[in-house]
Structure 1
Amino acid sequence: MHSVPVDFTAIDFETANPSSASACSVGLVKVRDGVVVDRLHRYIRPPFPHDEFSEWNVRVHGITRDMVEREAGWAELLPVFRDFAGADVLVAHNAGFDMRVIAATTEAVGLDVPDHRSLCSLQVARKTYHLESYRLPVAAMAAGFEGFSHHDALADAEACAAIMVHAAARHDVDDLDRLAHVTRVAFGAIGQAATATRKATHGPMALQ
């Protein structure tokens, strides 16, 4: 499989509970010309009142309140995220979830939601592979990326990045706009980008 010159930042969040504003871990993977060039993982202290750790979520990702109580909150980490991601398209598996986490956690700490377009590797995988399941470990295996620790935010972001690079090569495209076009997967957006997109496509409407 030849390398493809796609650029993006892959992202994965884990949350403390069902609230989208309860981010407790983030993994970021920067891809340039189809190659991972930088990685970042941080635990996050979720903002009050979204800081309860549900038994179900802890069972899934293994992160507990004790592990994050001395970590930075999202208000301190948002500048780190902005520096890392720049103006990149954000890629995530089930991207709607991760984009809601960015928006809700940012709003919970009283800051402006950053502007980003997003593209979902789950939707791209559905248009690229023929699989019984499109869960991240299965889709990543189809892309030749396996043996990673699912629900570790950094490992999940790397798996997501691998899917997008492999899918771009499979479809013989060299950027995410072309990949979105050929797979007919729509970009998402958060921040002012989302407001502008919504106005352009729907006219004035209440923000969700």
Structure 2
Amino acid sequence: MPLNFTAIDFETANSSPASACSVGLVKVRAGKVVERASWFIRPPLGHDAFLEWNTRIHGIVESDVQHAKGWAEQYPDIVAFADGDVLVAHNARFDMGVIAGGCSATGVELAEHHSMCSLQVARKTYTLDSYRLPMAARAAGFEGFQHHDAAADAEACAAIVVHAAGHHGAETVEALGAATRVHIAPVRARAEKPRTAPQPRLSNRPMIFAD
């Protein structure tokens, strides 16, 4: 069974996990990138405030997503692209939380997903001062990308997993998980109900990015 997976990365408008404003997707087949996709997402009402802190990080502003489709319309495209693959992300807890949060906030049924964290894989593979995405990607031989661009980050994440699989002699993501003791986990639905009240726009409390 070959090394097949989909790498995914989200950028968010604010600290809400339902505030995805862009997504990057990279499909890997037999250890090679075969397809890429990325697009803007319009966050749902109540999760749509673009905080200055987030915009400083990824450069996306409200006008960029004004004519984009919302989560409920775009989530099926994400599911179709992944096509049942294990979803790999750098700090997967964050990105899987975005998927679950977007579905919860819009009343969309969460599809069945399993995920692997390339941040955890990097920690079990390399000896680095920092395991943030640029440093881990550099250890995998992937440099010079635009960090916090969702498409570029997804490709960097894919590069880490492919390189780590080679390092550990793993032919599948499942074998890589076993070699590094990184769990491939199901994505759980969130219990929160869809919001109707607008989210406050005055807070500049920073969102924590672990990649």
Q: TM-score, normalised by structure 1?
A: 0.89
Between the aligned partners of 2:79 and 2:90, the Cα distance in structure 1 is 20
Between the aligned partners of 2:182 and 2:75, the Cα distance in structure 1 is 28
> Which of 73, 81, 86 pairs up with 2:83?
86
Q: Which residues in structure 2 correspond to 1:47-126 (within 5 Å)?
A: 47-126=44-123
Residues 114 and 191 in structure 1, CA contact (< 8 A), matched pair in contact too: no
> Which of 138, 141, 153 pairs up with 2:138?
141
What is the CA deviation profile of residues 96-118 of structure 1, one whole-angstrom value per residue up to 9, with x for unaligned ones?
Answer: 00000000011111111111110
Q: CA deviation at 1:133?
A: 0.3
SS of 2:100's equivalent in the other structure is: helix
Structure possessing the higher relative contact order (Cα contacts under 8 Å, 6 or more residues apart)? 2
Name segments (4+ residues, structure 1) moved above 6 Å: none
Between the aligned partners of 1:161 and 1:5, the Cα distance in structure 2 is 15
Residues 58 and 64 in structure 1, CA contact (< 8 A), matched pair in contact too: yes
Between the aligned partners of 1:31 and 1:122, the Cα distance in structure 2 is 18
Between the aligned partners of 1:114 and 1:154, the Cα distance in structure 2 is 22
Residues 112 and 191 in structure 1, CA contact (< 8 A), matched pair in contact too: no
Between the aligned partners of 1:30 and 1:24, the Cα distance in structure 2 is 20
Does 2:172 match 1:175?
A: yes
**Paired positions, count:** 190
Between the aligned partners of 1:79 and 1:187, the Cα distance in structure 2 is 22
Give 1:36's aligned residue: 33
Q: Which residues in structure 2 correspond to 1:149-188 (within 5 Å)?
A: 149-188=146-185
Structure 2: runs of 5 or more not aligned: 191-211
SS of 2:116's equivalent in the other structure is: strand
What is the CA deviation profile of residues 150-188 of structure 1, one whole-angstrom value per residue up to 9, with x for unaligned ones?
Answer: 000000000000000000000001001111111011122
SS of 2:88's equivalent in the other structure is: strand
Q: What's the C-alpha RMSD, in Å, of the aligned pairs?
A: 1.3
Between the aligned partners of 1:116 and 1:179, the Cα distance in structure 2 is 18
Give 1:15's aligned residue: 12
What is the CA deviation profile of residues 14-62 of structure 1, one whole-angstrom value per residue up to 9, with x for unaligned ones?
Answer: 0000000000000000000000001110100000100000000000000
Q: CA deviation at 1:5?
A: 3.4
SS of 1:115's equivalent in the other structure is: coil
SS of 1:36's equivalent in the other structure is: strand
Q: CA deviation at 1:191?
A: 4.7
Q: TM-score, normalised by structure 2?
A: 0.88
Give, as a single letter, the amino acid of the residue that structure 2 aligns with 1:184. R
What is the CA deviation profile of residues 77-107 of structure 1, one whole-angstrom value per residue up to 9, with x for unaligned ones?
Answer: 1111111001100000000000000000111
Give 2:21's aligned residue: 24
Between the aligned partners of 2:175 and 2:58, the Cα distance in structure 1 is 34
Structure 1: runs of 5 or more not aligned: 195-208
